[in-house]
Amino acid sequence: MTTKPKGMGLGIALGAALGIVLGVVAGHMGLWLGIGVAIGIAIGGTLRRTKCATCEAKQNQELRARS
């Protein structure tokens, strides 16, 4: 059984937490929560693109075999 990466959910959760903190400090909860979630989606997309060491090694082997 394989596990799926949880980068997107983690990014959204971190962004929402950041947005809540900034919203409480600045007094504009809705605005900062939205900005935080948007930043979290970007972070989650970045985390999702990272590959495990095994996947990267396999890809490097395939590239070497082609050249």
Spans of all domains in the chain: 7-66
Predicted structure pTM score: 0.62
- What's the Cα-to-Cα distance from 63 to each of 5, 6, 39, 54, 59, rounded to whole Å? 24, 28, 34, 14, 6
Give the tens place of pLDDT for each residue, 3-37.
555 678 888 888 999 999 999 999 889 999 999 99
- Tell me the pLDDT band of 1, cut-offs 50, 70 and 90: very low
Taking the CA atoms of the chain, what radius of gyration do you get in angstroms? 18
